[in-house]
């Protein structure tokens, strides 16, 4: 079954404690992406990757890091979380080219609370 798996689903942490949210896909997709969803703002792209070792900033990259050492995995790292990073996070994967039907498969979401 084609899927994107992100973990954990829920996380409460304290300010400044480093955390990693994992994301893995089994569809051999080149393009992977992280989004955060906040009320009234829709989804905003944090970082994306078009292939192994190729990552780029989205619209809201501050305070986040990513890596793409393997095609299937794209972890999101918060080195020093702050309360304004409390949000719902989604990982997604798809083909890269927008000239094809690049349906994005989304993970189930990670609800992060930073206190």
**Six token digits for residue 34:** 């992280």
Interface with other proteins (CB under 8 A)? 31, 33, 35, 40-45, 48, 50, 56, 58-59, 88, 90, 92, 96-106, 108-109
14 or 54, CB closer to other proteins? 54
33 or 85, CB closer to other proteins? 33
| C-alpha separations of 64 from 28, 35, 61, 96, 114 in Å | 24, 11, 6, 22, 14
Considering the complex, what minimum distance in angstroms separates the CB of residue 18 from other proteins? Answer: 26
**Contacts (Cβ under 8 Å, ≥6 apart) of 26:** 2, 3, 72
48 or 85, CB closer to other proteins? 48
């Amino acid at each position: 079954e084609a899927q994107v798996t992100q973990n954990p689903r829920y996380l409460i942490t304290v300010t400044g404690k480093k955390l990693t949210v994992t994301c893995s896909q089994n569809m051999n997709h080149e393009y992977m992406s992280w989004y955060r969803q906040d009320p009234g703002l829709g989804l905003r792209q944090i970082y994306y990757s078009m292939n192994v070792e190729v990552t780029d900033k989205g619209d809201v990259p501050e305070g986040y890091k990513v890596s793409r050492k393997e095609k299937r995995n794209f972890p999101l790292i918060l080195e020093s979380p702050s309360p304004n990073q409390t949000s719902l996070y989604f990982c997604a994967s798809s083909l890269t080219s927008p000239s094809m039907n690049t349906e994005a498969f989304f993970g189930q979401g990670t609800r992060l609370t930073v206190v």
